[in-house]
């Protein structure tokens, strides 16, 4: 039963990952691509992490997975902010 | 079905690695090459994980994707807005291509030969049987820091030599950096987390994948982050501290080796009862050294008192030359 | 370190399919590294590989029953942002 829920979570996470990657490839502008990256991929990772937590018996590892998820979220948010600001500054200098 | 899916995964990984490597070397745009190289490092970490080698995956993730990535990205920091085109002469390219082809053929033959060899003596069995005497329970750490400790000592010496070479190369270019509140706020929690994880990797190396190199590289990543986020607070290194940190790893290693030589008649032959503690001491010193070395290699440029000494001697030489004329 | 836990073959097959699909989405994202007109576009592919790599490591850790891969995922999550900071925060004087 738990296995089925976990597989469901992982595959829905995969759906978000795939859409994030397709968005990265097909969206027109850097800033919209950063949206796809930071948002879709992180939701995907959250769902995959949820599925893996359901499959992993040891509690200490579950805690590690939650920490990983929080860290990746923070890192993604900060990374996309930094990259976007850098791109803005570069474009301004070119004018 | 399971075998088929694993095979699909493996073959896709290999093809992707080959494609990334090929494109990294053949592309003319330097920024694209650097990005593909970092991506290849990340992919290699996943490959090591697939091959059930978590120690290698850790090292590749930290050093290959983290430190090397930061180094390369900082090296091309002055890229113009149009893609940089690297200039190569066709002759050199041809020579390199032929040599690479020869090397590939040689290594393919070696792998083929190794796969088809009859079962010889497998060293892993010997390692497992000697594991209780080694003082640790992680076989990789046992090999690196007990059975083959001399090799690790030489690795540390290689790292030191590389850093010394980097430090003598050139003056440091001034960094122009604008760092915002978000970045500085992030370092408030990220740097302590990196330091704690580095200590965790160092400690856990005795019984699980981890160890000195991974811990040292994480510490270096923390220092690099600090340096990039607080540019105005960059202090010139206290040079005595710098020298001490750089050599303390090798120093401790050799000291322990000589002490063991006085006790057990062989360099770096650990007494089994003390082996665990000795390995931990050596690993701690090595972590500090590797962290200092990688941070300095990232910073580049000569330390301040070397620079002043050079300037003095250079001016003396110039004045001496002019006097002769 | 190996953790205990049994996995039925349906679960293994599902996880393997998920793993392959993740790798596929990574490949799609890597095209942005190849194409991307600006530096930041290329770099966003590395961000994708960071998040996707963490997801792949989580699934691999369940499939191969290696607990240490959680540590590798943690390290990958921590270091993802260091590269971004190195890209956006280092620049020489433009005088």
Structure tokens at B272: 């089994």
- Backbone Cα Rg of chain C: 17
Q: ipTM value of the model?
A: 0.89
What is the tens place of the pLDDT at every residue in B266-277? Answer: 888 888 888 888
Of B71-80, B201-210, B230-239, C70-79, minimum mean pLDDT range: B230-239
Is B325 a residue whose pLDDT tops 60? Answer: no
Of A80-89, B4-13, B80-89, B138-147, minimum mean pLDDT range: B80-89
Distance, in Å, from the CA atom of A48 to the CA atom of B304, rounded to the nearest integer, reads 50
CA distance A21 to chain B (A): 15
Is B46 a residue whose pLDDT tops 90? Answer: yes
pLDDT number for residue B154: 93
Name the residue with higher pLDDT: B305 or C57: C57
pLDDT number for residue B238: 66
Of B48-57, B197-206, B294-303, minimum mean pLDDT range: B294-303
Q: What are the chain A neighbours of C60 within 8 Å (beta carbons)? A: none
pLDDT number for residue C95: 36
Q: What are the chain A neighbours of C50 within 8 Å (beta carbons)? A: 72, 75
Average pLDDT of chain B is 84
What is the tens place of the pLDDT at every residue in B223-268? Answer: 888 888 877 666 666 677 878 888 999 999 999 989 888 888 888 8
Q: Tell whether A88 is within 8 A of chain B (Cβ).
A: no
Is B309 a residue whose pLDDT tops 70? Answer: no
| A18–C62 CB contact, under 8 Å | no
What is the percentage of chain C residues whose pLDDT exceeds 70? 86
Name the residue with higher pLDDT: B135 or C6: B135
Report CA-CA distances (Å) from C79 to A79, B138, B185, C44.
Answer: 11, 25, 17, 15
Please, which chains are in contact with B (at least 3 CB pairs closer than 8 A)? Answer: A, C
Is A39 a residue whose pLDDT tops 80? Answer: yes
pLDDT number for residue B87: 65
pLDDT number for residue B65: 82
What is the tens place of the pLDDT at every residue in C44-59? Answer: 888 999 999 999 999 9
pLDDT number for residue B312: 67
| B194–C78 CB contact, under 8 Å | yes
pLDDT number for residue A48: 94
What is the tens place of the pLDDT at every residue in C59-85? Answer: 999 999 888 999 999 899 888 888 888
Average pLDDT of chain C is 83
Mean pLDDT of A32-45: 90
For an interface test with C, which of A24, A26, A32, A65 has the most C Cβ atoms less than 10 Å from its Cβ? A24
* pLDDT bucket at C37, cuts 50 / 70 / 90: confident
| A33–C32 CB contact, under 8 Å | yes
Average pLDDT of chain A is 88
| Inter-residue contact C29 to C48 (CB < 8 Å) | yes
What is the tens place of the pLDDT at every residue in B52-69? Answer: 999 999 999 998 888 998
Helix, strand or coil for residue A28?
A: coil
Is B124 a residue whose pLDDT tops 60? Answer: yes
Compare CB distances from A78 to B81, B178, B182 and report the shortest one's residue. Answer: B182
Stretch 8-37 of chain A: residues touching chain C, C-beta under 8 Å: 10-11, 13-14, 17-18, 20-22, 24-25, 30, 33-34, 37
What is the percentage of chain B residues whose pLDDT exceeds 70? 84
Please, which chains are in contact with A (at least 3 CB pairs closer than 8 A)? Answer: B, C
Compare CB distances from A94 to B81, B183, B193 and report the shortest one's residue. Answer: B81
pLDDT number for residue B176: 57
Is B194 a residue whose pLDDT tops 60? Answer: yes
The total of other beta-carbon atoms located within 10 Å of residue A5's CB is 13
Nearest to C59 by CA among B214, A54, B38: A54
pLDDT number for residue B158: 94
Q: Tell whether A85 is within 8 A of chain B (Cβ).
A: yes
* pLDDT bucket at A56, cuts 50 / 70 / 90: confident
Q: What are the chain B neighbours of A64 within 8 Å (beta carbons)? A: none
What is the percentage of chain B residues whose pLDDT exceeds 90? 35
pLDDT number for residue B276: 85
Name the residue with higher pLDDT: B274 or B302: B274
* pLDDT bucket at B323, cuts 50 / 70 / 90: very low
Is A92 a residue whose pLDDT tops 60? Answer: no
Place of tokens 């002490």: B259
What backbone torsions phi and psi does residue A44 show, to the nearest 5 degrees? -60, -45
């Amino acid at each position: 039963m738990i296995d089925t829920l976990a597989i469901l979570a992982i595959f829905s996470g995969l759906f978000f990952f795939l859409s994030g990657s397709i968005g990265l490839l097909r969206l027109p502008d850097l800033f919209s691509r950063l949206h796809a990256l930071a948002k879709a991929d992180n939701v995907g990772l959250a769902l995959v992490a949820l599925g893996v937590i359901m499959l992993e018996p040891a509690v200490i590892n579950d805690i590690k997975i939650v920490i990983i998820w929080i860290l990746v979220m923070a890192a993604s948010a900060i990374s996309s902010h930094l990259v976007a600001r850098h791109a803005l500054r570069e474009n301004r200098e070119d004018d | 079905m399971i075998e088929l899916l694993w095979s699909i995964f493996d073959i896709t990984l290999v093809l992707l690695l080959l494609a990334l490597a090929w494109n990294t070397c053949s592309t003319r745009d330097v920024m694209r090459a650097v990005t593909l190289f970092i991506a290849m490092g990340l992919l290699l970490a996943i490959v090591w994980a697939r091959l059930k080698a978590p120690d290698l995956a850790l090292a590749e993730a930290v050093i290959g994707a983290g430190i090397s990535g930061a180094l390369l990205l900082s090296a091309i920091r002055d890229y113009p807005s149009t893609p940089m085109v690297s200039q190569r002469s066709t002759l050199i390219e041809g020579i390199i291509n032929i040599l690479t082809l020869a090397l590939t053929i040689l290594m393919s033959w070696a792998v083929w030969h190794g796969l088809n060899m009859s079962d010889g003596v497998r060293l892993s069995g010997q390692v497992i049987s000697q594991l209780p005497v080694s003082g640790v329970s992680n076989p990789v750490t046992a090999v690196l820091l007990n059975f083959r400790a001399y090799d690790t000592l030489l690795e540390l010496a290689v790292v030191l030599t590389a850093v010394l070479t980097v430090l003598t190369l050139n003056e440091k270019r001034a960094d122009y950096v604008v760092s915002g509140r978000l970045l500085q706020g992030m370092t408030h929690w990220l740097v302590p987390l990196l330091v704690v994880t580095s200590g965790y990797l160092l400690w856990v190396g005795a019984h699980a994948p981890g160890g000195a190199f991974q811990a040292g590289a994480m510490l270096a990543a923390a220092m690099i982050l600090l340096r990039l986020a607080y540019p105005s607070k960059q202090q010139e290194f206290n040079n005595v501290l710098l020298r001490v940190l750089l050599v303390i790893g090798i120093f401790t290693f050799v000291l322990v080796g000589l002490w063991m030589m006085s006790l057990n008649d062989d360099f770096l032959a650990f007494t089994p009862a003390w082996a665990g503690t000795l390995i931990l001491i050596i690993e701690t010193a090595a972590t500090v050294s590797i962290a200092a070395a990688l941070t300095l290699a990232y910073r580049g440029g000569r330390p301040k008192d070397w620079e002043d000494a050079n300037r003095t001697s250079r001016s003396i030489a110039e004045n001496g030359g002019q006097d002769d004329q | 370190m190996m953790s205990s836990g049994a996995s039925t073959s349906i679960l293994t097959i599902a996880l393997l399919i998920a793993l392959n699909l993740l790798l596929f989405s990574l490949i799609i994202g890597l095209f942005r590294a190849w194409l991307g007109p600006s530096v930041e576009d290329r770099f966003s592919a590395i961000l994708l590989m960071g998040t996707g790599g963490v997801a792949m490591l989580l699934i691999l850790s369940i499939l191969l029953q290696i607990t240490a891969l959680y540590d590798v995922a943690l390290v990958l999550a921590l270091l993802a942002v260091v590269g971004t900071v190195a890209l956006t925060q280092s620049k020489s004087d433009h005088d």
